């Protein structure tokens, strides 16, 4: 029995240290006072091993349920962590209430496709259901994408003078908000970095990522860091927004500025990078897929992130073409809104395809009527769209693009263990192929 005394003493000391740290952590941020947060602290290796050996249900606050339900449960944890961190800065109650409303109004409530795609992709790459701690980490990355989406939407709605978003007034139209929404958008973006620090600071690559953030700024995606990837994605998407705004300003219609090539640039920069590439790339990073590796099945060198971009950017462009076509051809009951691309002077796939096919007379009609907030003028534009066979051109584009992307996916080599999978990309493609809303 005497040989057990040192072990008992060590256990008592360890418990005492944990109790002290938990108590201190609770004073600072009650929401992070659970084992899921303690296992992210920079413990000595032997203590980290204790946490890693714990059963899955003791290292997460995300309970059972459907994947979407668990993802939404993770948001309640993340939300409270952010609120506590904001309050810890000593800001007054009215600022805290404003911050809460900002997050609650703008982040949840969407389809969550981008965020859930991170979780789905991690599962596909790992080839199994995720343990609780893995699910929480993937969900944090997914919600980081949703925060990025919220940041873009708040600023986009203000610049476009949009009226509604997700069935409610755009955030800048909420009483007392107005142009304060610009600062609130920055707060939404800053929440991403707080979440990455809180949940990934104990990863071996975290310090390197922070150095990349401070020293490199907008560097190549080849570095493949979480923070750097986010910065690059923000840069890409903001560039797409700039191209969109200066190509087709709402109050100045000039169809000579538009082209299918410019549409493709806007679609890839503004939509494809953050909606399709970012979720997959984050999942690849979490699974520690390297920039390049030699495929055991083919012997070829796989440049994983370049390969993913090669497939996902065309999928994102295809998705934007669908959106543009449905804005013209879909009914409000079908797509959940009234299409406004024509009256808003959007540089859409529809107008650019029509311009490429229009006769001299049809071009004159488009020049005279496009981008005007007049129902009769909008109807004339739609008549030209029908005359040039836009519906048939869309069907041909969809089939051609679908087969092209399938061929790209077929070129993905698959190996045992953690590696890229064809199904990572086919899941995206099949979700949007021939979609009607």
Active site members: 111, 151, 156, 160, 165, 244, 270, 319, 323-324
In 258-345, beta strands by DSSP E: 292-294, 301-303
Q: In angstroms, how far is CA 252 from the centroid of its own chain?
A: 31
Asked if 81 and 28 count as a contact pair (C-beta separation under 8 A), the reply is no
Alpha carbons 278 and 229: distance in angstroms, whole number: 8
> Are the beta carbons of 88 and 28 closer than 8 angstroms?
yes
Give one DSSP letter per residue of 214-242, joined into a string: IIISS--GGG--HHHHHHHHHHHHHHHHH
* Backbone phi and psi for residue 143, each to the nearest 5 degrees, phi listed first: -70, -30
CB atoms within 10 A of CB 365: 17
Taking alpha carbons only, the member of 81, 150, 49 closest to residue 109 is: 150
Contact between 145 and 189 under an 8 Å Cβ cutoff? The reply is no
> Given phi > 0 = left and psi -120 to 50 = alpha, else beta, which region is 259?
beta
Structure tokens at 165: 């978003």
Q: How far apart are CA 246 and CA 93, in angstroms?
A: 40
- The angle formed by the CA atoms of residues 426, 147 and 153, to the nearest 5 degrees, is 90
C-alpha dihedral over 253, 254, 260, 264, to 10 degrees? -60
Residue 45 exposed, middle or buried by CB count within 10 Å (0-12, 13-18, 19+): exposed
CA–CA gap between residue 334 and residue 329 (Å, rounded): 10
What letter would DSSP give residue 293?
A: E
Closest by CA position to 281, among listed 315, 304, 314: 304
DSSP state of 433: T
Handedness of CA 81, 82, 86, 89 (dihedral sign): positive
- Report whether 126 contacts 83 (CB < 8 A): no
């Amino acid at each position: 029995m005497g040989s057990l005394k040192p072990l008992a003493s060590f256990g008592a000391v360890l418990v005492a240290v944990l109790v002290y740290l938990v108590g201190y952590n609770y004073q600072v941020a009650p929401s992070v006072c659970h084992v899921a947060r303690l296992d992210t602290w920079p413990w000595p290796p032997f203590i980290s091993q204790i946490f890693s050996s714990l059963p899955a249900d003791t290292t997460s606050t995300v309970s059972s349920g459907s994947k979407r339900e668990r993802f939404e449960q993770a948001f309640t944890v993340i939300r409270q962590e952010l609120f506590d961190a904001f309050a810890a800065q000593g800001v007054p109650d009215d600022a805290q209430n404003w911050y809460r409303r900002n997050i609650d109004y703008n982040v949840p409530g969407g389809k969550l496709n981008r965020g859930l795609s991170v979780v789905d992709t991690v599962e596909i790459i790992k080839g199994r259901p995720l343990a609780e701690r893995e699910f929480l980490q993937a969900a944090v990355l997914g919600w980081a994408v949703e925060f990025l989406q919220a940041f873009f939407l708040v600023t986009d709605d203000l610049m476009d003078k949009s009226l509604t978003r997700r069935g409610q007034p755009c955030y800048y139209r909420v009483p007392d908000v107005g142009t304060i929404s610009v600062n609130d958008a920055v707060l939404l973006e800053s929440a991403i970095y707080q979440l990455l620090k809180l949940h990934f600071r104990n990863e071996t690559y975290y310090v390197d990522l922070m150095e990349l953030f401070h020293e490199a700024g907008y560097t190549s995606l080849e570095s493949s860091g979480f923070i750097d990837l986010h910065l690059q994605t923000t840069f890409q998407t903001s560039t797409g927004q700039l191209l969109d705004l200066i190509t087709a300003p709402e109050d100045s219609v000039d169809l000579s500025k538009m082209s299918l090539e410019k549409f493709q640039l806007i679609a890839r920069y503004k939509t494809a990078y953050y909606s399709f590439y970012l979720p997959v790339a984050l999942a690849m990073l979490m699974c520690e897929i390297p920039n390049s590796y030699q495929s055991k099945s083919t012997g070829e060198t796989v440049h994983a992130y370049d390969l993913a971009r090669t497939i996902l950017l065309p999928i994102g462009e295809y998705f934007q073409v669908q959106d543009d076509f449905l804005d013209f051809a879909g009914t409000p009951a079908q797509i959940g809104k009234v299409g406004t691309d024509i009256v808003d002077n959007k540089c859409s796939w529809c107008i650019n395809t029509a311009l490429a096919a229009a006769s001299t007379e049809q071009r004159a009609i488009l020049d005279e009527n496009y981008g005007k907030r007049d129902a009769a003028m909008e109807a004339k534009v739609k008549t030209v769209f029908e005359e040039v066979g836009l519906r048939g051109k869309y069907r041909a584009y969809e089939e051609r693009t679908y087969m092209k992307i399938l061929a790209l996916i077929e070129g993905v080599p698959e190996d045992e263990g953690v590696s890229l999978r064809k199904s990572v990309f086919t899941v995206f493609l099949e979700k949007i192929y021939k979609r009607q809303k």
